[in-house]
Structure 1
Amino acid sequence: MFAVFKRARKATLAAAAALSALALAACDPATIGSGPTINTSKPVPVALLVPRGSAQQGDSVLAKSLENAARLAIADLDGVQIDLRVYDTAGTPEVASSAAQQALNDGARIILGPVYAEAANAAGIAARQRGVNVLAFSNNTAIAGGNVFILGPTFDNTARRLTKFAARNGKRNILIVGGNDAAGVAGRTAIQQAAAESGATITGSVGYELSQQGVINAIPTIRSEAAKADAVFLTSTTAGALPLLAQLMPEAGVDPAEKQYIGLTRWDIPSQTLSLPGVQGGWFALPDQSKVQQFSARYQATYGNAPHTIGSLAYDGIAAIGALVAAGKSDALTTAALTQGAGFQGAGGIFRLRPDGTNERGLAVATIQEQKVVVIDPAPSSFAGAGF
């Protein structure tokens, strides 16, 4: 357990440094633009930037999965022609910037990717100078804005879904429990903002250092603060503090039968998490599983293996571009078109891009009963009346 926290601390320190550096480039008001016009009677040039060539383990598999998913989406388009060109970024900002510039020189009218936040930010800066929008596969909201839109799932989106569901079900007094790292702080902020929008009340917030002893030291405070709440919202992941919290909190008297446990992250991955006593009856959000299964089955049948966890984001990007181009309008790839309120149908259900560069996804609320995932509030099929 301690080794996991030690690795997590190193990762979050690096993330915190990246966040502060990226915010400067991402929040410049001068970056806001409308995007290029296109000729919808001809194939639309789309650049796909993937982390092929990276030294990081698994990036070559991810790169291939993103390309495969994009081509699968192109095959699903009806009457829309996409000229997809793939560029390698090696997972670095420098190469990503050069790849974006090359793609623009080759005529790209929109860029899909890259994956990593700093690389996506660099590509966004290069594309901004040419008035082209970027749909990045990152979930880092620090780089969102101007001509950069992120496709990855965000804490804000999940927090809004779960706090509204909690408020509707009488769980209006919420205690936040999260790590004192960049991800924990971001999660805490997302929950606080979501609570303000949903009518829920944050009764308190308890932080902990990312170590086994840090979590143990926080338990008495969690127990004390939980007395004022009817729900405990946890920001931790299954690879981090969640397993330990799920054990220690019930043992300390924070009974999950009396205090609703809520998770900001997926509690069903890996499947071993489902056996933890503390997660039984807890709430968490996940994409429309029927859509996810359909996409996975088609991908498997086409390519002979399962898609990467985030490979479906490339499918979503092409699906959005195709839906807009199908309308036959020259402004299909402008900011106004990309941020249409109706949104798009993706591999995991409905989603839409927000003017601030972030996104909203139609999520289901699930619980764990007898070590199995049970959906208790289905994902919406449209944004009309979906409570977003």
Structure 2
Amino acid sequence: MRFMFAVFNRARKIVLTATAVAATAVLSACNPGTITGGGPTINTSKPVPVALLVPRGSAQHGDDVLAKSLENAARLAIADLNGVQVDLRVYDTAGNPQTAANAATQAVQDGARIILGPVYAEAANAAGIAAAKRGVNVLAFSNNSSIAGGNVFVLGSTFDNTANRLTQYATRQGKRTMVVVSGNNAAGMAGRAAIQQAAVQNGVTMAGNVSFDLSQQAVINAIPTITKSVRQSNADMLFMTATTSGALPLLSQLLPESGIKTTDVQYVGLTRWDIPAQTLALPGVQGGWFALPDPAKSEAFRARYQATYGAAPHPIGGLAYDGIAAIGALVSAGNSEALTGAALTQPAGFQGTGGIFRLRPDGTNERGLAIATIQDQKVVILDPAPRSFPGAGS
């Protein structure tokens, strides 16, 4: 899948790679709140028209596989709905904003009462603008918070959510001072901003901030600066935005060699450190912390998908399942305003493919994540994913 980063005018949107969000087979609403305003009404006695926008037809390698996985997951969710019928219509966007806008317009004209997708930020934004003209909400598969708002909600796990979860856990373990290490690209900058915000919200001192260009030599050159920053500030936490396919392998090798031992400073990763599996063998990630969806529910969805389709789902295929099943859970209450913004953002949220999640009024989301570490090249859960949101009931 392509490295989905793009920066837009007025710093409006940054596309972030979607991390693996695989999941469980059952999804339901928890105590839906008052359902009013912010979207079209539906006829609950008839199948609910839902449009699915996928990146099929793009020139980007892997997009057709992603599109098929999203469609398969959506249909799997439809099969699991009890008493709710969904009329799913699939539209190809070719990963292109204008095509996505045209598809959204056509979908609404065809009667869609809600839109799932697209994946990429520019396309999701374009689809959202087109759908807004008819008051239809869009549940995009992006994890880019900056495209959220109005009638656009993002389903992917966001940097803000992950950074906050990890920082909250760190403070409970007595960690109070961090140095942030990030790449000089859109993802790195977005990740750094999310970590900074989480530090402020949780009373953690950000004692240093070291960035590097995306090249092997630049990473090597940054090591002395990172080492100095950690030692001078006496930081007890080193928070990195690097990915396993990017700078993480090199950082996790060179930093311990430079004297920043994992036994003295807590390494923390904003991205998944368990994918691919080879990463688990890196000496520098042993004992590090990262966040991930509820492993049991993720594996249950993966197994269910594999048994049904004969192959593993795409890492973000579960987002389509989440979207369909959330729709089904809300519609099952029999309220004609089940797909309004007020309904979609009910505080109790939903049980999704990787655990609980809820959509926020600002279009972002919150997902219940587990805190994991790596011990003896194996993933160990330190703090399980929550089963419900505080005060929301279930």
TM-score, normalisation: structure 2? 0.90
1:16 counterpart = 2:22: no
2:51 counterpart SS class: strand
Per the TM alignment, residue 303 of structure 1 is displaced from its structure 2 partner at its CA by 1.0
1:305 counterpart = 2:311: yes
2:351 counterpart SS class: strand
**2:69 corresponds to which residue?**
65
Which residue among 170, 180, 187 is the counterpart of 1:183? 187
Per the TM alignment, residue 16 of structure 1 is displaced from its structure 2 partner at its CA by 2.5
**2:388 corresponds to which residue?**
382
Which residue among 347, 358, 368 is the counterpart of 2:364? 358
Per the TM alignment, residue 182 of structure 1 is displaced from its structure 2 partner at its CA by 1.0
Which residue among 201, 222, 227 is the counterpart of 2:226? 222
**1:75 corresponds to which residue?**
79
Per the TM alignment, residue 20 of structure 1 is displaced from its structure 2 partner at its CA by 3.6
After superposition, give the CA deviation of every residue in 1:247-302 in whole Å (9 maximum; x if it has no partner): 11101111110100000000011111111111000000000011011111111111
Pairing 1:35-74 to 2, within 5 Å after superposition = 35-74=39-78
Per the TM alignment, residue 384 of structure 1 is displaced from its structure 2 partner at its CA by 2.1
1:380 counterpart SS class: coil
Find the aligned partners of 2:215 and 2:76 in 1 and give their Cα distance: 43
**2:27 corresponds to which residue?**
none
Preserved CA contact (<8 Å) 1:112 1:314: yes
1:269 counterpart = 2:275: yes
Find the aligned partners of 2:188 and 2:67 in 1 and give their Cα distance: 28
Computed over aligned residues only, the root mean square deviation of the Cα atoms, in angstroms, reads 1.6
State the AA in 1 paired with 2:335. K
Find the aligned partners of 2:10 and 2:168 in 1 and give their Cα distance: 28
Preserved CA contact (<8 Å) 2:12 2:146: no
Pairing 1:205-354 to 2, within 5 Å after superposition = 205-227=209-231, 228=233, 229-354=235-360
Kindly indicate whether structure 1 or structure 2 has the higher relative contact order, using CA contacts under 8 Å at least 6 residues apart.
2
**1:127 corresponds to which residue?**
131
**1:371 corresponds to which residue?**
377
1:16 counterpart SS class: coil
1:175 counterpart SS class: strand
Find the aligned partners of 1:246 and 1:95 in 2 and give their Cα distance: 42
Residue ranges of structure 2 left out of the alignment (5+ in a row): 15-36
Find the aligned partners of 1:293 and 1:212 in 2 and give their Cα distance: 34
Find the aligned partners of 2:281 and 2:253 in 1 and give their Cα distance: 11
After superposition, give the CA deviation of every residue in 1:197-244 in whole Å (9 maximum; x if it has no partner): 112221111111111121111111111111221000000101111111
Pairing 1:92-107 to 2, within 5 Å after superposition = 92-107=96-111
2:180 counterpart SS class: strand
2:79 counterpart SS class: helix
Find the aligned partners of 1:51 and 1:18 in 2 and give their Cα distance: 23
Identity %: 73
**2:20 corresponds to which residue?**
none
Give the number of aligned pairs. 367
**1:28 corresponds to which residue?**
none
Preserved CA contact (<8 Å) 2:13 2:144: no
Find the aligned partners of 1:374 and 1:269 in 2 and give their Cα distance: 14
1:199 counterpart = 2:203: yes
1:239 counterpart SS class: coil
Find the aligned partners of 1:258 and 1:18 in 2 and give their Cα distance: 42
State the AA in 1 paired with 2:6. A
Preserved CA contact (<8 Å) 2:117 2:139: yes
Find the aligned partners of 1:138 and 1:19 in 2 and give their Cα distance: 19
**1:29 corresponds to which residue?**
none
Find the aligned partners of 1:243 and 1:18 in 2 and give their Cα distance: 33
Residue ranges of structure 1 left out of the alignment (5+ in a row): 1-7, 24-32
Find the aligned partners of 1:286 and 1:98 in 2 and give their Cα distance: 35
Find the aligned partners of 2:163 and 2:9 in 1 and give their Cα distance: 23
State the AA in 2 paired with 1:15. A
After superposition, give the CA deviation of every residue in 1:134-158 in whole Å (9 maximum; x if it has no partner): 0000111221110000111110010
Preserved CA contact (<8 Å) 2:6 2:13: no
